[in-house]
Amino acid sequence: MSNALHDDPLVRLAAAGDTAAMNDLFERHRERLKKMIRMRMNPRLQGRVDDSDVLQDAYLEAVGRITEYLADPQAPFFLWLRKITGQKLIDVHRRHLGAQARDVRLEVRHLRAPLPLASSVSLAAQLLGRLTTPTEAAVRAENRRLLQDALARMDEMDREILSLRHHEDLSNQEAAQELGIEESAASKRFIRALQRLQKLLGEAGLTD
């Protein structure tokens, strides 16, 4: 893959064993990777598994494989890190959930690299954000139920594109590469998913 990745001095320094360069590279993408972990971690593991532990495992894996990446970069550096982090998250699911983690529903098969599924439960929680006062908690609990029901009625690919673009902050180009589709198709899919969600929320009486 011939692109500017070859000219990134930090990548080259990290591949040469420069720890500070590798730290800087990882810190550059830490928050986006955290968002992915929080979105895709099974709700049963929330509070039991720290996302920092998953990130640490991903960092160590990336350190050991960065020369391999530099020799033949098939994706932007962030997407490469995201793939490694997703693999570590799958390992966490298998370790804590056992046989249940092998259910194909836990992995998104249409992604270029299988990752734990962004469920309607997780996506609804992230879209609504955090609760504050008890009154808001009661209102948001109902809104969360309505939003979760609407998301559950959507196609899996629609939920994925919403997660990638809206929550994980992937660009359209990055989302297209992750889904293995053209950028124009990813853009259209995202717009259709937003329209579909808006329609379902309107039908449920949740329009704000």
Regarding the domain delimited by 120-203, which CATH topology (the fold level of the hierarchy) does it fall under? Arc Repressor Mutant, subunit A (1.10.10)
**With bands split at pLDDT 50, 70 and 90, how would you rate the model's confidence at 157?**
confident
CATH 1.10.1740.10 intervals, the chain: 4-103
pLDDT digits (tens, 9 = 90+) for 81-126: 999 999 999 998 888 887 555 543 444 545 555 677 676 777 777 7
Phi-psi region of 180 (alpha: psi -120 to 50; beta: other; left: phi over 0): left
Assign domain 4-103 to its CATH architecture. Answer: Orthogonal Bundle (1.10)
The predicted pLDDT at position 97 comes to 81
Q: At 75, list the tokens.
A: 């994706």
The number of helices, as runs of H, and strands, as runs of E, in the chain is 9, 0
List, by residue range, all CATH 1.10.10.10 domains of the chain: 120-203
The pTM for the full model equals 0.79
